[in-house]
Amino acid sequence: RHLGPCIRIRVTMPSGAHLGLLMAVATIAVCLDLFILSEQPLVPGLAVSQRGALFSPPKRSSAVILTQAECDILIRVLDRKSVHQNTGDELYGLNLEQMNGKNYSLREKTLVLDVRERILDTVRKHFHSPHILPEYTHLTLRRPGNSTYSHGIHCDQCSMDLNTLQCEIRKEACCGWRHYTAIVYLNNPNGGDFFFADYNGTATVVQAPFERLPPQKYTPTFTDFHPEPGLLVFFSSGPENLHGVRPILSGQRYAFALWMTMDTTHTEHVPSGFLTPGIADEIRSQAL
């Protein structure tokens, strides 16, 4: 269960017989995938993704996890103050650190942590893994801006080149450690549909040094989800789930996003201003 470089790997048959021993042959990234693989229960129908991590089909799903009243509270949080992050896309947002002040009540902060836990519980159960951890919480507000996409086709785990369908994991850049993504919608906007862009499984993960393929035109198949209050959409974060957001036609689109990881070195820090004694004790006990 060590997340550093793999020093030895023993391949064991169900009978207990050892097939071989490999010494110092795996990179840190491969070690993490092997760690994820080793943590999964043997469930019929499990499939291996392009990174080697184990996912239970389907690699994406949805559920309703918030009431209208809870959505309204989170919308008021974003309306009170949010940080402008992208010009063109017109994205505004709040993370936990930005909410760690007197502008937000303990009730609002507690709801944010509670929603985060509901998402984690749903994703862990779906993917049969109790070891999925929160990596980054982001409340978002999108306004009309870019007429093509409010958020273009992309991958949360690596940098996607849509001309070659090669998705590069860069050690110095975010976010090769992200393994799962979730979005909860808070309102029913005019436009702003979330979509998956499927390229028939031809997208691949690469790491430097690698040979860049000749560019060509690829045409994806789109699957759209129209935002509805309380709707959670979640999926594995690799190139098997390229996605984006359609243009916002009018008004605003509110959402609660959570990225998750299996890497304990990238677990999200919860600021002290969020914690009541009971919540603090619960979070500490889960971290042990």
Tens of pLDDT along 156-193? 999 999 999 999 988 777 899 999 999 999 999 999 99
pLDDT at residue number 17: 40
90 φψ region: left (φ > 0), alpha (ψ -120 to 50), beta (else): left
Query: Which tokens sit at 134?
Result: 């929160």
Here the tokens at position 17 are: 């017989």
| Average pLDDT of the segment spanning 57-64 | 74
Question: If DSSP codes are grouped into helix, strand and coil, which group holds residue 205?
Answer: strand
Cα 193 to the center of its chain, rounded Å: 18
Nearest CA to 88 among 139, 138, 143? 143
Q: How far apart are the first and last CA of the chain?
A: 15
Name the least confident of 11-20, 84-93, 130-139.
11-20
Query: Where is 63: in which H helix or E strand?
Result: strand 60-64
Q: Read off the pLDDT of residues 221-277 as tens digits, 9 standing for 90 and up.
A: 999 989 999 999 999 999 999 999 999 999 999 999 999 999 999 999 999 888 754
Confidence (pLDDT) at 26: 46
Residue 29 amino acid letter? A
The whole-number pLDDT of residue 283 equals: 53
Whether residue 25 is predicted with pLDDT greater than 90 in this model: the reply is no
Give counts: helices (H), strands (E), the chain: 4, 20
pLDDT of residue 15: 40
Torsion of CA 237, 241, 246, 252, to 10 degrees: -30
Long-range contacts of 154-158 (CB under 8 A, 24+ apart): 154/242, 154/243, 154/244, 155/203, 155/237, 155/238, 155/239, 155/241, 155/242, 156/181, 156/237, 156/259, 157/51, 157/205, 157/237, 157/238, 157/239, 158/205, 158/238, 158/239
Q: Is the pLDDT of residue 44 over 70?
A: no
Q: What is the structure's pLDDT at 36?
A: 42
117, 65 Cβ separation under 8 angstroms: no
Query: Of the candidates 144, 170, 130, 158, which has an alpha carbon nearest to the alpha carbon of residue 239?
Result: 158
Q: What is the pLDDT of residue 55?
A: 36
Cis ω for the linkage preceding 58 (within 30 of 0): yes
Q: Is residue 49 very low, low, confident or very high in pLDDT (cuts 50, 70, 90)?
A: very low
Residue 117 has pLDDT above 90, yes or no: yes
Q: Name beta bridge partners: 286.
A: none
The mean pLDDT value of the chain amounts to 79
In angstroms, the CA 236 to CA 222 distance is 17
